[in-house]
Amino acid sequence: MRIQRGLTALLLAMTMAGCGGAKDEAQTTKDLKATGGLHVAVIPKGTTHEFWKSIHAGAIKAQREYEAQGVPVRLTWKGPIREDDREQQIQVVEGFLSQGVNGIVLAPLDASALVRPVQEARQAGIPTVVIDSALASQDAVSFVATDNEKGGALAADRLGTLLGGKGRVLVLRYQEGSASTEARERGFLDRMKAQYPGVQIVSSDQYSGPTRDTAKRAAENLLNRFGNQVDGIFTPNESSTAGMLLALQDVGKAGQVRFVGFDASEAFITAMRNKQLDGVVLQNPFEMGYQGLKTIVAHLRGEKIEPRVDTGVMMVTPENLDADASKALLNPPLAEYLK
């Protein structure tokens, strides 16, 4: 298995450089080092959701700032196709190790599964900054992320207040092993238990899976099972929120059940304006990508960095949707950087 994984990683590394293959990629990295430049790999959990596009745009902003200062930084962006493919993300990390990049910025799909690759990177002299979701390891040089438990608590406060402190609520979780969403779910459930004892959690053990489609199917099952018994719903990320929203719309319950989600999309903005979504907890993925790249480059240049960088969290509701702070998070400048 180890040999097979190594061969897969080598093949993956060869494809990263396009037609030139791994030799050209390694030569480019060597040339960068010779001129004092740096090659940083940024590895998200996935590449399709708006959240990851915002992280990519933020990293590009940081890269451009360094280049304007005369510091050549090459950024290579690559993640797994599916957000539940731990093995592919491991292979992506190993592929970059074989190229000898200077540093890695990683959003680990699984708090445990990515421990070994990050340890191997450290042993190879390649530091890692972890973003978005925690890793069960001390091998990363910094952790740049949202305070996810706080985000979950904000969602509980919003839903608990809307329900007047009583009612029946279900939680559609994301997927096991995802430290960021597990922290949000924990923050939500702990705050509900402590501050809203009149709220009954009727279901909190179902998972949406990695995509909007898997989330919609899971949501449909929950609504078929509990639909007439539910007053409120919480979902902890973009795909679970999108799937639940679609399921509620399909059965004509959108706007009839209090619903608080996580992350941003155009569909969520529309749903809030149509009173079908009562709020979303917003992270700042653009800032996360920006600070992730800034942190790894600062470390590589011998500068002091913080072991923990909090990129902020905010509750956006139909009432504050058009406030400047909300619009800044809802409309990151993607087009300016992702051309």
Render pLDDT for 190-245 as a digit per residue (tens, 0 to 9): 999 999 999 999 999 999 999 999 999 999 999 999 988 999 999 999 999 999 99
Task: Flag whether pLDDT at 36 surpasses 80.
Answer: no
**Average pLDDT for 260-271:** 95
Task: Flag whether pLDDT at 3 surpasses 50.
Answer: no
170 with 201: CB under 8 angstroms?
Answer: yes
Structure confidence by residue, pLDDT tens digits, 269-326: 999 999 999 999 999 999 999 999 999 999 999 999 999 999 999 999 999 999 999 9
With pLDDT > 70 as the criterion, what percentage of the chain qualifies? 89
206 with 175: CB under 8 angstroms?
Answer: no
The Cα diameter of the chain in Å comes to: 66
pLDDT band at 267 (very low <50, low <70, confident <90, very high): very high
Distance CA 192, CA 170 (A): 12
317 with 279: CB under 8 angstroms?
Answer: yes
Structure confidence by residue, pLDDT tens digits, 72-119: 999 999 999 889 999 999 999 999 999 999 999 999 999 999 999 999
- DSSP for residue 295: H
Dihedral in degrees, nearest 10, Cα atoms 167, 265, 206, 217: 110
pLDDT at 251: 95
Structure token digits, residue 132: 């978005």
167 with 311: CB under 8 angstroms?
Answer: no
Q: Which of 12-26, 111-125, 324-338 has the lowest mean pLDDT?
A: 12-26
pLDDT at 14: 37
In the chain, domain spans: 2-146+285-311, 148-282
pLDDT at 31: 56
What is 56-89 written as a DSSP string?
Answer: HHHHHHHHHHHHHTT--EEEEE---SSTT-HHHH
Superfamily of domain 148-282: Response regulator (3.40.50.2300)
Q: What is the torsional sign of CA 302, 303, 304, 310?
A: negative
**Average pLDDT for 178-197:** 97
Cα 24 to chain centroid distance, Å, stands at 31
Structure confidence by residue, pLDDT tens digits, 130-177: 999 999 999 999 999 999 999 999 999 999 999 999 999 999 999 999
Q: Can you tell me whether residue 327 is helix, strand or coil? A: helix
The residues with which 262 forms a beta bridge, in sequence order, are 281
Residues 6 or more apart whose Cβ sits within 8 Å of residue 166: 196, 198, 199
CATH code linked to domain 2-146+285-311: 3.40.50.2300
pLDDT at 339: 81
Residues 6 or more apart whose Cβ sits within 8 Å of residue 306: 142, 295
- DSSP for residue 46: -
Taking phi over 0 as left and psi of -120 to 50 as alpha, with beta for the rest, 79 belongs to beta
pLDDT band at 334 (very low <50, low <70, confident <90, very high): very high
- Topology agreement, domain 2-146+285-311 and domain 148-282: yes
Cβ neighbourhood burial of 190 (10 Å; 0-12, 13-18, 19+)? middle
